[in-house]
Amino acid sequence: MPDLSSFTITRKWPAQHPDRIQLYSLPTPNGVKVSIMLEETGLPYEPHLVSFDRHDQMSPEFLSLSPNNKIPAIIDPNGPDGEPLGLFESGAILVYLATKSGLMMPTDAAGRWHTLQWLMFQMGGIGPMFGQVGFFHKFAGKDYEDKRPRDRYIAESKRLLNVVEQRLEGRAWIMGDDYGIADIATFPWINNLIGFYGAGELVGIDEFVNVKRVLQAFLARPAVVRGLQIPKRQPAA
């Protein structure tokens, strides 16, 4: 059985199954990327809830694995050379799990580079910009009188949605026929923008027919349905 005791995080979140990938997360748009990926690939894993209500993400145990105080993070007990590997940053984790499983990423070199390109586009554009829409439209920033910051992030989000819309013209998924990590990174954020953030009308989501079509296909996948609820927000009693 692998020994994860050198990872301080396991003192706060003990591993019941140290032979499985340990996931430290919360079902937010960045968190569910990894739970969906794990559900899609079938890699065995053990989820642990990192509660923002309890400020778990600021605890020394969590920071020992994820120094940027953000979920998601993982430990793979069976990493490169059979040694345990800890990782934070959802994009890096998706690439790692795709490489480990040989799933959710094209096998040809050009396809792999293009997948990374769309993944970086999500990580650097969609995630940060949509997140700001959340702040200025749903959270503390909604009370600011000056609406220019909100409007700036709405405009930028519309622009980014249009990039995705054009990419999806004539394609089933971002990479064409094959679903993979570019979709797993992108669609939780689009779902969150129009669902939890309630910003669908603000960004004019109805204009983006390809985006809506592919979002529906994404949300219909059984692994996505499961992954969106993992880890459960309330720990089992």
Ligand X SMILES: N[C@@H](CCC(=O)N[C@@H](CS)C(=O)NCC(=O)O)C(=O)O
Residues that bind ligand X (CB under 6 A): 28-31, 57, 69-72, 89-91, 127
- Distance, in Å, from the CA atom of 235 to the CA atom of 237, rounded to the nearest integer, reads 6
For residues 171 and 233, which CB has a smaller minimum distance to ligand X in the complex? 233
Nearest approach, Cβ of 96 to ligand X (angstroms)? 12
Nearest-approach distance from CB 82 to ligand X, in angstroms: 26
Nearer to ligand X, 18 or 33 (CB): 33
Closest contact distance (angstroms) between CB of 209 and ligand X is 27
Beta carbon nearer to ligand X, 18 or 74: 74
Q: 205, 95, 115: which is closest to 160 by C-alpha?
A: 205
User: Is 50 or 214 the residue whose CB approaches ligand X more closely?
Assistant: 50
Tell the smallest beta-carbon distance from residue 69 to ligand X (Å): 5
Q: Pick between residue 53 and residue 169 the one whose CB is nearest to ligand X.
A: 53
Q: How far apart, in Å, are the Cα atoms of 184 and each of 14, 32, 38, 139, 154?
A: 28, 9, 11, 25, 22
7: CB partners within 8 A, 6+ apart: 64, 65, 75, 84, 86
| 204: three-class secondary structure by DSSP | coil
* Shortest Å, Cβ 72 to ligand X: 6
CA 64 to chain centre: 21
Token pair recorded at residue 218: 């994404």
